[in-house]
Amino acid sequence: MAINVVMPKLGMAMKEGTVSVWNKKVGDPVQKGELIASINSEKIEMEIESPGEGILLEIAVEEGKGVPPGTPIAYIGQPDEKVVSGAQEEAAASIVAEPEVPAPASPQVKENPSHVTISGEKVKISPVARKMAAEANLDIQTLAGTGPGGRITKEDVQKALENVSQQSRPEPPARKENETNTKADQASRPLTGMRKVIAERMHSSLQNSAQLTIYMKADITELKTLQAQSAASVKRRFGEKLTLTDFIARATILALQVHPFMNSALIDYSIHERNNVHLGMAVALEKGLVVPVINDAEKLSLSQLSASIRELAKKARENQLGSEEMTGSTFTITNLGAYGVEHFTPILNPPEAGILGVGAAEDQPVYRGDNLERRSILPISLTFDHQLVDGAPAALFLKEIKGYLEEPFSMLV
């Protein structure tokens, strides 16, 4: 009996999964545990292993199509094995349920028939396909059935509708002789999976909040000195060096405890104040962006915070994050400094009150008193929801982060 490959459930909240790419085609041999496809749901993407050994008999869900968890997406079995898929089961059930009857001489149509008799000729068609054809005013006599015994299935109707749609499109105007085509060839693909979720969330964020961004510059010269001086000792004790991102995260957590209004959320016109800091750290992936969450970040030491950031970023890049590790954040940090970006305007991660943007640090000449010195300057920005927070308190919060970064020892006591 053929083995079903089903769409897995990636987290409790998953409602639909999408097949990103098939690594095998129908007829290819597969080994148990071999990677045969990639699937995604919301912000999670993973590869599917073959549950058994044999031949890929049928691909039930094409690339780019979304289906609920538990839905068969492919079948694996022996070369001569037959697969009874959803469409075939429907047709077979129709055959059993409604035996053929002699055709009368005059046109007759029964209610919900699986066999429609027109002009003395019997047309085999499933109830679903008949309904689809009737709604589209499609002449079923013109359809070719691919089901058992030539029965017309819903897939046959869908294909016919697609052909009609293509034929009804107007022909593009003929190009004049010697006319140059200035437009490049274009390709389109559906917005699915992670990209679709990001698009929906960003659009919703801008529609449902009053976003304002303010900017400051932090002098992190002393911070970089501290980072360099402690590197060998920290690596010897904890196995890894502290990064600039670690210090920025620590400064943000401390500032949120001083200014808790930035750790709140606006939900259904009610302000929800959070006692704990669940820090979201945006991680860029090849196909999108994910925001792993460090829960109860205020309880972690700097070294523990650093380890958590590294671990979650690694899991994100390896598509190993669970849905529970990407929900519940109360404030987010996004860092584009590694890409050379100086200033940018982040978009809120709803329903959070704020998001910190971090740019690229640069050495600049800075007057300190009467002396011109070479200093390392870090641009930072704060996007906040003006429905929750006004400009002045938001500026005080960003200034608090700046203060910790410019006096790094205050983060260690």
The one catalytic residue in 28, 203, 363, 386 is 386
115 catalytic? Reply is: no
The active-site residue out of 28, 296, 363, 390 is 390
Does residue 370 have an active-site annotation?
A: no
Q: Is 45 left (phi over 0), alpha (psi -120 to 50) or beta?
A: beta
Enumerate the active-site residues.
Answer: 386, 390
